[in-house]
Amino acid sequence: MSAPKMSLRLWLQIAVVFLTFAATTHAADRLAGDLITLRNGSRLRGVLFEQSDKSITLLVSAKWLSTANAKLLQPAKQQNIETHMAGLEQALRRLKTVRPPAGNGALEAFLRQQADDVEAELAKAEGFQPEFLWLTLPKNDVARVEVSTLEHRQLLAWAWVEEVDRAESRWAEELSRDLKARNVSPVGWPFPFIERLPAREQSDDEWAARLALTEYALGKPLDFQGTGDVLARAGREIQQADVAQLLAELLRGQLQSQLGDLLNEGKPTKKSADNAARADSLKKVIQIAESEKRLGFRATRLDLAGDIQQATVTTQFVARLADGSWRTVFQYSERADAAKTRPEIEKRIQDDPQVKQVLELTRQIGLTAEAQIQQAIRFGAATMTAQQACDSQFASFRDVYRLSFVRPPLSVPRGN
């Protein structure tokens, strides 16, 4: 006797239950940190640092590795002790011979202090017992890499600092609650964690990028800002007046476009900023940086959507490498919805003299409706919101690397 056939409705009910369960399990099944599964079935959890065609480097807790995979512990520990010593020796040689750009007294003093600190650390390096291990694995030994979020990586780092029991095997949500119960806010990278990392030898490019970041942080920063394929010199960050100026230009552009329609003139044939145009604008600001003998600069762009329904801001830090070429070592983009109301920011923009002047002109001519004006102001508020997020992300990146020339390691991309 054949089995009874299930109705379509029953199949759908079963499918819904299964998918709901799977979605719930997936949402809850989030451990802190990254997961690497080896071909022999072993699983390693920590913070993924870098991966190439040949190898993968994961930062793990030595205490955790002693129980999770004791076979890897002693070789990794010995390797880290050796690379720690080599990294400190290399850093000290460089710190004693580096010639910082003239006129940056704060950087000169910092380099001298760093040399003293590294020398003191070297004096006791023979007894170094690493709490954390850089575990470099051949790519052929790796079966699968599951990359976590930045927040979950940082969460694991905070748990390590607080010595939370079984941090690698606990759900991220549970770990977060545990840390907050200890009055710990797991945001960003904890500096005590960074200070406890083993040193590593640095490539010439990594050293150059680190020096560029420190020069930027301790001296007068070189910043550029603009829209699309246009970049101009700016202050430390885009302030309210800068956004107001951008908004005023945007309104003027709308006004000119509408006047052109009335006069039966063709619309400007301005192309959207493509990669080639952006690269060209970056080359121009690189020439400025070279003429001023700078080691690095920051460039921030606002991408103008045709209907100004959203604002996207991208910021990048570009450093001069050992061979004189320039490379982006940090980049972050933030998108903000221009349909969302932000009353306080919108009022500040409306009160700006530049914006008031353009608004008065558009209202006098009667070409721009109030709805369009309001949308443009909301676009300006969205731009400021996105810019603030970019500033925050860059500040976190900069601050992590301006404390030490030894740690943490700085991964320099192969190309832009």
User: If pLDDT is split at 50, 70 and 90, which confidence band does 380 have?
Assistant: confident
Alpha-carbon distance values, 317 to 221, 223, 246, 298 (Å): 11, 9, 22, 4
Instruction: Name the pTM for this structure.
Output: 0.79
pLDDT on residue 262 = 32
Give long-range contacts, CB 8 A cutoff, 24+ apart: 47-55.
Answer: 47/153, 47/156, 47/157, 48/145, 48/147, 48/148, 48/153, 49/134, 49/409, 49/411, 50/411, 51/139, 51/145, 52/139, 53/139, 54/138, 54/139, 55/136, 55/137, 55/138, 55/139
pLDDT on residue 218 = 93
pLDDT averaged over every residue in the chain:
81
Check if the beta carbon of residue 137 is closer than 8 Å to that of residue 58.
yes
In angstroms, rounded to a whole number, what is the distance separating the alpha carbons of residues 297 and 322? 16
User: If pLDDT is split at 50, 70 and 90, which confidence band does 288 have?
Assistant: very high
Q: Which residue has the higher pLDDT, 358 or 180?
A: 180
Residue pLDDT, tens place only, 226-267: 887 788 888 544 444 455 555 555 554 544 443 333 333 334
Check if the beta carbon of residue 315 is closer than 8 Å to that of residue 394.
yes
Check if the beta carbon of residue 349 is closer than 8 Å to that of residue 375.
no
The percentage of the chain sitting over the pLDDT mark of 90, rounded to a whole number, equals 51
**Rg of the chain's alpha carbons, rounded to an integer?**
27
- Tokens 């575990």 sit on residue: 135
Residue pLDDT, tens place only, 71-98: 999 999 999 999 999 999 999 999 999 9
Whether a cis peptide bond, with omega within 30° of 0, leads into 413 is no
List, in sequence order, every residue forming a beta bridge with 132; answer none if it has no partner: 61
Question: Residue 93: which region, alpha, beta or left (left: phi > 0; alpha: psi -120 to 50)?
Answer: alpha
pLDDT on residue 140 = 94
pLDDT on residue 274 = 62
